Amino acid sequence: MDFSVIRDNLDYFLIGAYPNGPLGGAALTLVLSVLSGIAAAVLGLVLGIALSTLKGWPRGILIAVLGFLRAIPVLMLIFWSYFLLPILFHVDIPALFTVVCALSLIGGAYLAYSVHAGIQSLPDGQWAAARALGMRPVQVMRLIILPQALPIMLPSFLNQWISLIKDTSLAYVIGVGELSFVATQVSNRVMVHPTEIFLFVALVYFVFCSSLDLLANFATGKQQVKRGG
Partner 1 sequence: MFGELLGPQYLKWLFDGFLLTLTLSVAVCLIATGLGFLVCLARLGSSRLASWPARTYLSLLRNTPLLVQLFFWYFGVSALLPEGLVSWLNQPHELNLAGLDISWPSFEFIAGFWGLTLYTSAFIAEEFRAGVASVRPQQREAGMAMGMRPAQVWLYIVLPQALRTALGPLLGQYMNALKNSSLTMAIGLAELSYASRQVETETFKTFQSFGFATLLYTLSIALIEAAGQWIRQTRRYRQGAA
Point out which residues bind partner 1 (CB under 8 A).
Answer: 68, 71-76, 79-80, 83, 87, 162, 165-170, 172-173, 180, 183-184, 187, 193-199, 201-202, 205-206, 209-210, 213
The alpha carbon of 227 is separated from its chain's Cα centroid by a whole number of angstroms, namely: 28
The CB-of-86 to partner 1 minimum distance in angstroms stands at 11
**Nearer to partner 1 (CB atom), residue 18 or residue 79:** 79
How many whole angstroms separate alpha carbon 64 and alpha carbon 172? Answer: 29
Q: Where are the alpha helices (DSSP H) in 54-94?
A: 57-71, 74-89
**Nearer to partner 1 (CB atom), residue 72 or residue 128:** 72
The CB-of-143 to partner 1 minimum distance in angstroms stands at 34
The CB-of-71 to partner 1 minimum distance in angstroms stands at 4
How many whole angstroms separate alpha carbon 102 and alpha carbon 167? Answer: 10
Burial code of 37-55, b = ≥16 C-beta within 10 A, e = fewer? bebbbebbbebbbbbbeee
**Nearer to partner 1 (CB atom), residue 213 or residue 219:** 213
- Picking from 53, 50, 70, the residue whose alpha carbon sits closest to that of residue 160 is 70
The CB-of-56 to partner 1 minimum distance in angstroms stands at 23
Q: Where are the alpha helices (DSSP H) in 133-178?
A: 137-139, 146-167
The CB-of-195 to partner 1 minimum distance in angstroms stands at 4
**Nearer to partner 1 (CB atom), residue 36 or residue 167:** 167
**Nearer to partner 1 (CB atom), residue 130 or residue 193:** 193
Residue 189, judged by CB atoms within 10 A of its CB (0-12, 13-18, 19+), counts as exposed
